[in-house]
């Protein structure tokens, strides 16, 4: 890091600590040449993730769009949709993949909802899997019942 005062190229870190929200690191630095102190912030560089839609088009991953869908499924249910979406976003960032198929993204949501709340899971699945009729809906419910009995 260059000194902002004298442009010396070798500053030293005096103190490091996380910011209040934990999203970055605050560092106090000192220039050994002019002895001026200054603060820098280090943040995590995130990977841009693209979602490959069913028709083959790509769009940037939008956390808010995913959250809106999960919130609808979790409406009036004891599920924290924000936590589910944040977990998915973190998992995507940790894989360092730049593309994900919308189907895999939907499966990630459904896996978490299935563990968290069966009603929210069925709501999300009915839209995601495009249930065509009541028989498809009952088939999904019967599958859930079978898993619960195990």
Residues 116 and 58 in one domain: yes
Q: Which of 42-46, 81-85, 91-95 has the lowest mean pLDDT?
A: 42-46
49: phi > 0 → left, psi -120 to 50 → alpha, else beta; which? Answer: beta
Residues 39 and 74 in one domain: no
Instruction: Give residue 149's pLDDT band: very low, low, confident or very high (50, 70, 90).
Output: low
Residues 16 and 74 in one domain: no
Q: Is residue 7 part of a domain?
A: no
What gap in Å lies between CA 116 and CA 49, rounded to an integer? 26
Domain of 112? 50-149
Residue 52: helix, strand or coil by DSSP?
strand
Q: Give the pairing type, strands 50-52 and 99-101.
A: parallel
What gap in Å lies between CA 132 and CA 145, rounded to an integer? 20
Q: Which of 70-84, 109-123, 129-143 has the lowest mean pLDDT?
A: 129-143
Residues 19 and 56 in one domain: no
31, 34, 38, 41: CA torsion to nearest 10: -30
* pLDDT above 80 for 4: yes
The per-residue b/e assignment along 39-71, b for 16 or more CB within 10 angstroms, e otherwise, is: eeeeeeeeeebebbeeeeeeeebeeeebbebbe
Residue bearing tokens 């990630």:
108
Residues 97 and 142 in one domain: yes
Instruction: Give residue 133's pLDDT band: very low, low, confident or very high (50, 70, 90).
Output: confident
Q: Is residue 17 part of a domain?
A: yes
How many domains is the chain built from?
A: 2
């Amino acid at each position: 890091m260059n000194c902002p005062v004298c442009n010396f190229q070798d500053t030293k870190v005096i103190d490091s600590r996380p910011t209040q929200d934990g999203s970055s690191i605050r560092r106090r630095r000192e220039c050994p040449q002019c002895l001026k102190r200054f603060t820098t912030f280090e943040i995590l560089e995130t990977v841009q993730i693209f979602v490959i839609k069913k028709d083959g088009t790509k769009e940037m991953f939008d956390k808010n769009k995913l959250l809106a869908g999960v919130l609808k499924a979790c409406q009036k249910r004891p599920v924290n949709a924000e936590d589910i979406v944040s977990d998915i976003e973190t998992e995507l960032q940790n894989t360092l993949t730049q593309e994900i198929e919308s189907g895999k993204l939907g499966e990630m949501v459904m896996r978490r909802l299935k563990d968290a709340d069966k009603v929210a899971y069925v709501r999300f699945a009915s839209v995601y899997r495009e249930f065509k009729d009541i028989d498809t809906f009952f088939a999904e419910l019967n599958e859930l019942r079978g898993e619960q009995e195990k």
